[in-house]
């Protein structure tokens, strides 16, 4: 099933959902995932493997991290080739002083915002959807 490409439809249909938990970004310099470690996402960089996982899992594995995030999923099925959605929500969050780290999955965009900013970010996203043309 193809994802949505119309920016106005994407914005109106974002339906942001705040996922329970605290999430952290860690780096594994050797690029090797310990067996049994459940990750939310990963990306291989020149410096090592970045993994996103629940804070409790990172602490149990002895990983260090600097940033504790809340995870927001936009429940609209956005096409990977859609233009403007990331710019629109990043601009709205930026104007509110909220940092945002974005991961695009096949079906949805996933936003990681500072844990303390989670509820404010949800309100900014709801307002953006409500005022989309």
Residue 63 sits in a domain whose CATH number is 3.30.2130.10
Q: Is position 1 within any domain?
A: no
Contact 7, 85 (CB under 8 A): yes
Q: Is the pLDDT of residue 66 over 80?
A: yes
Q: What is the average per-residue pLDDT within 29-48? A: 89
Q: What is the pLDDT of residue 72?
A: 98
How many domains does the chain contain in total?
A: 1
- pLDDT tens for residues 72-101? 999 999 999 999 999 999 999 999 999 999
Q: What is the pLDDT of residue 51?
A: 96
Q: Is the pLDDT of residue 108 over 80?
A: yes
Q: Is position 39 within any domain?
A: yes
Give me the domain span that covers residue 69: 7-131
User: What residues contact residue 67 under an 8 Å CB cut-off, 6+ apart?
Assistant: 24, 25, 114
Q: Is the pLDDT of residue 1 over 80?
A: no
Q: Is position 19 within any domain?
A: yes
Q: Is position 80 within any domain?
A: yes
Q: Is the pLDDT of residue 2 over 90?
A: no
Q: Is the pLDDT of residue 32 over 90?
A: no
pLDDT bracket for residue 128 (50, 70, 90): very high
Q: What is the average per-residue pLDDT within 48-71? A: 96
Region of 22 on the Ramachandran plot (φ > 0 left; ψ -120 to 50 alpha; else beta): beta
């Amino acid at each position: 099933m193809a994802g949505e490409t119309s920016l106005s439809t994407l914005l109106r249909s974002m339906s942001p959902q705040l996922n329970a938990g605290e999430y952290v970004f860690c780096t594994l310099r050797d690029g090797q995932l310990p067996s049994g470690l459940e990750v939310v996402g990963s990306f291989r960089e020149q410096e090592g493997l970045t993994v996103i996982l629940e804070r409790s899992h990172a602490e149990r594995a002895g990983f260090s991290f600097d940033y504790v995030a809340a995870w927001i999923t936009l429940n609209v099925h956005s096409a990977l080739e859609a233009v403007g959605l990331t710019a629109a929500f990043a601009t709205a969050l930026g104007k509110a002083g909220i940092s945002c780290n974005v991961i695009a999955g096949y079906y949805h965009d996933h936003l990681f915002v500072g844990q303390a900013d989670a509820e404010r970010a949800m309100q900014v996203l709801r307002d953006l959807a409500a005022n989309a043309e």
